[in-house]
Structure 1
Amino acid sequence: MEKKIGLYICKGCGIGEAVDVEKIQNIGKNALRVPVVQVHDVFCSREGIDLIKKDIAEQGVNSIVIAGCSPRVKTYEFSFPGCFVERVPLRELAVWTIEAPEEKQLAAEDYIKMGVIKAQKGEIPEPYIIETVKSILVVGGGISGMTAATEAAKAGYDVVLVEKESELGGFARKLYKRVPTDDYTKGVLGDVNLEPLINEVTSNPKIKVYTSSKIEKIDGQPGDFDVTISKNGSTETIKIGAIIQATGWKPYDAKKLTKKYGYGKFKDVVTNFEFEELAKKNKGVIKRPSDERVVKTVLFVQCAGQRDPEHIPYCSGMCCATTLKQARYVTDGNSDATAMVIYKDIRTPGKLEYYYKEAQNTPGVMLAKGEVTGIREEYDKLVVTVEDSLLGDKAEIEAEMVVLATGMVPTTKEPQDYLIGLAEAAAKGDEAKAKYIETTKKPEFILNLGYRQGPELPFLEGGFGFVDSNFICFQYETRRTGIYAVGPVRQPMNMTEAQEDAKGAALKAIQCVEHVAKGIAVHPRAWDTSFPEPNLTKCTACKRCTEECPFGAIDEDEKGVPFYKPNRCRRCGTCMGACPERIVSFKDYSVDMIGTMLKNVSVPSEDDRPRIIVLCCENDAFPATETAALHRLKLDPALRFIQLRCLGSMNLVWIADALSKGVDGMLLLGCKFGENYQCHFAKGSELAKYRLGKVQETLDRLQLESDRVQMYEVAIDEYWRIPSIIDEFMEKIRQIGPNPFKGF
């Protein structure tokens, strides 16, 4: 279909008073050769929208450029199915942020040119449609997995639940009682009572349960996963649309605490999990392991090996409430019994604080702040040494039993430790160590993903074994599209929190399948029908795209040539930025498109008038800039902002093109990244920073200073930083001086 562009210039929100709209209209008609150019007082009004619709119907306009307000507002009004739509935020980037009238005008003209170029270069994406399997796999039959399975089934989805044990229930089966979930002030312990949930799962015709089973392999992509399940020596491969990993946790290895706490050395030093099993075995009557005598004094040690860099550096979240519950096992029905709790801090968030206050008033329960430094055995008692108490004195306390709150470790930690060990040995070229790790420490993998990046879900460095989910922006969503982490494999949590978590993950899995069926991205660009379309005839098989893709969306054939699995793709464009041959494009986003926009920005010939290009990500930096405009913060008029899907899509050729044209500097604004990353595309901003380190070679070739290109990290709520970042960068540019290519 032949492209026909319509340029629609809005005069509302003060635009008409701030810029010469008639001049912009003439530029559109004459310089840019746009066949249809219209001006209206308020284009988002019914009359304005009808005018655009009339041009679509009568003049065949199919590519629309609306110059007015931010693309983040009026999205419903400016939706025209079957048309390419580009929004140019004159209001935010010219009118509200620039003071001098002549500079407002020049900025408006530049943004109009770039908007029209985008419409000229862009095409309406065609969705990638496959025959989608509307079923969900849940791996793990504990409280999280069963809840996720029932919620998905209630929504009408077929569910396959795989549990490695012979029965459902997970760790919750080992519990005697549970922390209260409603009336916290009375302190009445709740029954675990898993049978109703287990019966709901096993009796639901939409849920197929595999017990004593494991995942042999997972191949494919969202909407079309091939999952091989093994049971009793036989295998079965089924089609699955989306996957939820709910494999839970296991206790920290208390044998590592022998030296300090005497675990394994003294029979009556047990973990909180073993104490729970004792209570269940004897129906609440606590008998110590050494002689089966009913105990009257039990000392609980909080954070035993937790919040400790030598063991577990994090807080497990549920231990304090669990200890308060277990203290009641000791005192309930025994008025002579005493439960002593030695804590670093008590952490009972939310309504559990009422439960903590109730425990403070419970007869027989004693709570004291302190640090347990040692445990020894004297006759038939244990003597616990406590230091750093509130009184500052060293104390020794006798008890018949000691219970260590050892904390929770995700089931994913062991596979992750193994993979880390292999990677470190490979990096050092230590083949002997790699072979030793392979032969002695190889764990049983959980998902066994058929991804070139590895058999398990990715993890954050310093994530302590928990599955990497973008917990700031997108809960549950891992770096493997269509695979969601839920419960204690994602972060420490109690049973109630795990059940809530499972409901959210089920909804995310459903969203994934529905989006794939429509051919649109799953997240975060949940409206996007585009996907990467590489020109493989020019591919050199350098593998940069496959290695840098954060989501494992690109595999390689036997010759090393990449091939895409589009439903794994998040549409970030990282592969586009990685490719040195510039062969990766989207129909509405390409290296050529952005490059042409850069080349058409006006560059003042006067030496004292700089021109700066700002490339910023659409998720944090660009919204932060627009928020700065909303607050009427003024920005240097030398800047021209170009929005990228992700800073990871930045191709280094853009820097060379802009600087060789005479642009004085380039400022890159991306999401924050690191251990607590916020980048919507996980690695995009970090990869941009890495690539920027290689820009020096390009600038040296152009005989330009490396400080002309700088990158800053900005969170979406840090709009107030935008002016100071710009001022700091502009000062550097003024010190360096004008670009010597200016005027050529």
Structure 2
Amino acid sequence: MAGKIGVYFDLQNIGGGLDVEALAAQTRDKWGDLTAVVKVVPLLAEAVDEIRADIETQSLDGVLLCGASPRVDGDLYRFSVQVEHVNLREQCVLAYRNPDNSPVDSEEAPELLTLMARDYVNMGVVKLQKSEVPDSAAIKGVPRILVIGGGWTGLTAAAEAAATGYEVVLVEKAEKLGGAACNIPTGSPLGPLWTDKQPVNLAARIEKVTGDKSITVHCNARMEKLEGQPGEFTAVIATSGGPVTVQVGAVVLATGWTPLDEKYLAPMGLGVSPMVVHAAQFGKMLAAGQVTARRIAFVLDTTLAEEAVRKAAEETAEAPAEAAKPAPEEGEAKPFVKEDLESIKHLQYSNAVNSVGMLRLANTICEKTDDATQAFILYKDMTVPGILERFYKKMQNRLGVMMTKADVTEIRDHGDRMVVACKNTLLGMDFDLDVDMVVVPTGLVPTTAKDVTVNFAYRQGPDFPDLDLFDGFADSNYICFP
């Protein structure tokens, strides 16, 4: 507990008409010897040396900084004693409104604002008075990183971690590295000028990882168990040669995705007609030189699929409810069952990936056929993130590529061709588009929605606790505490 506190008011950064000197006087009067030093400084950021001197000469064991947000110049105030901030600017002056919700229009602070500021300062003093410096739980940590997944992201994480001096253990469930990138020889723009596709160079990336002595690769392997805490994890990896136990300090989850079940895209013809494929399938065909179609519709509008799922859900809701399963007996352990969280939502989440991917695939097929192919991109929402807008703009002028916003109301098999019915187009008319092939979006379902990827040995169970909330995606802020 702090028994001798220095309180410092930042005159320049408080404002609001507050009488800072009066606040300081109130603090001295109320807390007496507890606040051994109470000062109003012109600018807190320039008083760091003065505060350090006071800590030394006055034997302070706590410092209360009253002024702007603690996010401002936070690194400056690293003192050898407990430090607490009172945000009198953002959370007091700038947040204040009169009781009738009108702004402050006088140079002098209203009485309520002054009382609020006093309360904040008093609470800051009490917090320092009642809190203690926690016992250090610092651990040395294991300088080894576990990467789960050997696709593009996993390979990149492993190489970057090794380059910064860490040992790395890479776990890949397949027999070879590369993941989905094995079927994407040419990627979307990966660097400046962000206007052209670029080779993935996957073989070189794999060789960089497998040739690094600080990286241990386990293919045809999976996580059997992970226990411990950040900095000191114990991982058990199931390999073809038996379980391998390794100590690691941190874990990178890079297990990737699987394609959405074709049943969700059946209303768009997927799985119904051989002339309809999803984007990932088209990429494989393209890499293998199996695409012979010369008029191809890339359909980004997924309303047909979404409406079919909605109607099916309404019919299910109207059907008689099934009898509830009996609850387990009291005291009986409830076995863990992994819930399958795959849904039509994953198609919507994948829109940005599919938008850029369709542009890349259309561009690639036109190049491969010397512009003999006509690629029609039909979208409801063209979602192109960030600087990839440059790629999109270039594709708008690409020979052989035609794109328009359109409501795709029907995709039907017409013997030797497919017909895509389009309404509300940017062309100002409705039309039926005859094509040789239709490419629909790939729904990217995170592996965490389908499988237990890490297998935690924690009381919460083997799975991430928040997957239902995020539709199967792992919370990116999740930290594995026992």
What TM-score comes out, normalization by structure 2 length? 0.76
Closer, same or farther in 2 for the Cα pair 1:28/1:299, shift >3 Å?
Answer: closer
Corresponding letter in the other structure for 1:237 = T
- Tell me the distance in 2 between the aligned counterparts of 1:91 and 1:390: 50
Closer, same or farther in 2 for the Cα pair 1:414/1:44, shift >3 Å?
Answer: closer
Matched-pair contact (CA < 8 Å) for 1:342–1:367: yes
| Structure 1 position 195, deviation (Å) | 1.2
Matched-pair contact (CA < 8 Å) for 1:303–1:407: no
Match of 2:137 among 128, 132, 136: 128
Question: What SS is found at the alignment partner of 2:291?
Answer: coil
Q: Please show how residues 270-285 of structure 1 align to structure 2 within 5 Å.
A: 270-282=277-289
Corresponding letter in the other structure for 2:284 = E
Corresponding letter in the other structure for 2:291 = I
**CA distances 1:534-586 after superposition (whole Å, capped 9, x unpaired):** xxxxxxxxxxxxxxxxxxx4xxxxxxxxxxx5xxxxxxxxxxxxxxxxxxxxx
In the other structure, the counterpart of 1:202 is: 210
Question: What SS is found at the alignment partner of 2:150?
Answer: coil
Corresponding letter in the other structure for 1:34 = L
Closer, same or farther in 2 for the Cα pair 1:449/1:210, shift >3 Å?
Answer: same
Question: What SS is found at the alignment partner of 1:19?
Answer: helix
Alignment of 1:354 onto 2:401:
no
Match of 1:296 among 290, 294, 308: 294
- Tell me the distance in 2 between the aligned counterparts of 1:323 and 1:119: 58
In the other structure, the counterpart of 1:331 is: 366
Alignment of 1:215 onto 2:256:
no
In the other structure, the counterpart of 1:60 is: 59
Matched-pair contact (CA < 8 Å) for 1:49–1:78: no
In the other structure, the counterpart of 1:319 is: 354
Pairwise CA RMSD of aligned residues?
3.6
Q: Please show how residues 545-556 of structure 1 align to structure 2 within 5 Å.
A: 553=481
Alignment of 1:229 onto 2:234:
no
- Tell me the distance in 2 between the aligned counterparts of 1:11 and 1:400: 71
In the other structure, the counterpart of 1:27 is: 30
Matched-pair contact (CA < 8 Å) for 1:270–1:402: yes
Matched-pair contact (CA < 8 Å) for 2:221–2:237: yes
Q: Please show how residues 438-477 of structure 1 align to structure 2 within 5 Å.
A: 445-459=452-466, 463-469=470-476, 477=477
Q: Please show how residues 677-692 of structure 1 align to structure 2 within 5 Å.
A: none
Match of 2:82 among 81, 84, 98: 84
The percentage of aligned residue pairs carrying the same residue is 34
**CA distances 1:518-540 after superposition (whole Å, capped 9, x unpaired):** xxxxxxxxxxxxxxxxxxxxxxx
- Tell me the distance in 2 between the aligned counterparts of 1:275 and 1:62: 67
Match of 2:147 among 101, 121, 138: 138
- Tell me the distance in 1 between the aligned counterparts of 2:443 and 2:300: 9
Matched-pair contact (CA < 8 Å) for 2:223–2:236: yes
Gaps of 5+ in 2: 97-103, 310-343
Matched-pair contact (CA < 8 Å) for 2:231–2:249: yes
Q: Please show how residues 694-713 of structure 1 align to structure 2 within 5 Å.
A: none
Closer, same or farther in 2 for the Cα pair 1:77/1:342, shift >3 Å?
Answer: closer
In the other structure, the counterpart of 1:645 is: none
- Tell me the distance in 2 between the aligned counterparts of 1:330 and 1:347: 21
- Tell me the distance in 2 between the aligned counterparts of 1:95 and 1:331: 61
Question: What SS is found at the alignment partner of 1:127?
Answer: coil
| Structure 1 position 20, deviation (Å) | 6.8
- Tell me the distance in 2 between the aligned counterparts of 1:41 and 1:359: 59
| Structure 1 position 132, deviation (Å) | 1.5
Matched-pair contact (CA < 8 Å) for 1:19–1:108: no
- Tell me the distance in 1 between the aligned counterparts of 2:10 and 2:297: 74
Question: What SS is found at the alignment partner of 2:386?
Answer: coil
Closer, same or farther in 2 for the Cα pair 1:306/1:327, shift >3 Å?
Answer: same
Matched-pair contact (CA < 8 Å) for 1:266–1:377: yes
- Tell me the distance in 1 between the aligned counterparts of 2:241 and 2:73: 58
Alignment of 1:239 onto 2:247:
yes
Matched-pair contact (CA < 8 Å) for 1:18–1:95: no
Question: What SS is found at the alignment partner of 1:448?
Answer: coil
Closer, same or farther in 2 for the Cα pair 1:323/1:104, shift >3 Å?
Answer: closer
Question: What SS is found at the alignment partner of 2:362?
Answer: helix
In the other structure, the counterpart of 2:159 is: 150
Closer, same or farther in 2 for the Cα pair 1:275/1:128, shift >3 Å?
Answer: same
| Structure 1 position 72, deviation (Å) | 4.8
In the other structure, the counterpart of 1:261 is: 268
Corresponding letter in the other structure for 2:221 = S
- Tell me the distance in 2 between the aligned counterparts of 1:317 and 1:11: 46
How many residue pairs align between the two structures?
Answer: 429
Question: What SS is found at the alignment partner of 2:136?
Answer: coil
| Structure 1 position 446, deviation (Å) | 1.1
Question: What SS is found at the alignment partner of 2:462?
Answer: coil
Matched-pair contact (CA < 8 Å) for 2:144–2:250: yes
Question: What SS is found at the alignment partner of 1:146?
Answer: helix
- Tell me the distance in 2 between the aligned counterparts of 1:159 and 1:396: 54
Closer, same or farther in 2 for the Cα pair 1:218/1:47, shift >3 Å?
Answer: closer
Question: What SS is found at the alignment partner of 2:419?
Answer: strand
Question: What SS is found at the alignment partner of 1:265?
Answer: coil
- Tell me the distance in 1 between the aligned counterparts of 2:117 and 2:402: 70
- Tell me the distance in 1 between the aligned counterparts of 2:125 and 2:163: 48
- Tell me the distance in 1 between the aligned counterparts of 2:352 and 2:219: 29
| Structure 1 position 467, deviation (Å) | 2.0
- Tell me the distance in 1 between the aligned counterparts of 2:256 and 2:139: 33
| Structure 1 position 149, deviation (Å) | 0.8
Q: Please show how residues 722-733 of structure 1 align to structure 2 within 5 Å.
A: none
Matched-pair contact (CA < 8 Å) for 1:305–1:406: no
Corresponding letter in the other structure for 1:160 = V
Closer, same or farther in 2 for the Cα pair 1:393/1:201, shift >3 Å?
Answer: same
Question: What SS is found at the alignment partner of 2:403?
Answer: strand
Matched-pair contact (CA < 8 Å) for 2:147–2:169: yes
- Tell me the distance in 1 between the aligned counterparts of 2:418 and 2:92: 75
Closer, same or farther in 2 for the Cα pair 1:227/1:36, shift >3 Å?
Answer: same
Closer, same or farther in 2 for the Cα pair 1:375/1:237, shift >3 Å?
Answer: same
Matched-pair contact (CA < 8 Å) for 2:301–2:407: no
Question: What SS is found at the alignment partner of 1:60?
Answer: coil
| Structure 1 position 123, deviation (Å) | 1.9
| Structure 1 position 397, deviation (Å) | 2.7
| Structure 1 position 270, deviation (Å) | 1.9
**CA distances 1:636-687 after superposition (whole Å, capped 9, x unpaired):** xxxxxxxxxxxxxxxxxxxxxxxxxxxxxxxxxxxxxxxxxxxxxxxxxxxx
In the other structure, the counterpart of 2:401 is: 365
Alignment of 1:396 onto 2:432:
yes
Corresponding letter in the other structure for 1:179 = S
Closer, same or farther in 2 for the Cα pair 1:68/1:182, shift >3 Å?
Answer: closer
151-160 vs 406-415, greater mean Cα deviation: 406-415
Alignment of 1:251 onto 2:256:
no
Alignment of 1:171 onto 2:180:
yes
What TM-score comes out, normalization by structure 1 length? 0.51
| Structure 1 position 403, deviation (Å) | 1.9
Closer, same or farther in 2 for the Cα pair 1:340/1:113, shift >3 Å?
Answer: closer
Question: What SS is found at the alignment partner of 1:318?
Answer: helix
Question: What SS is found at the alignment partner of 1:412?
Answer: helix
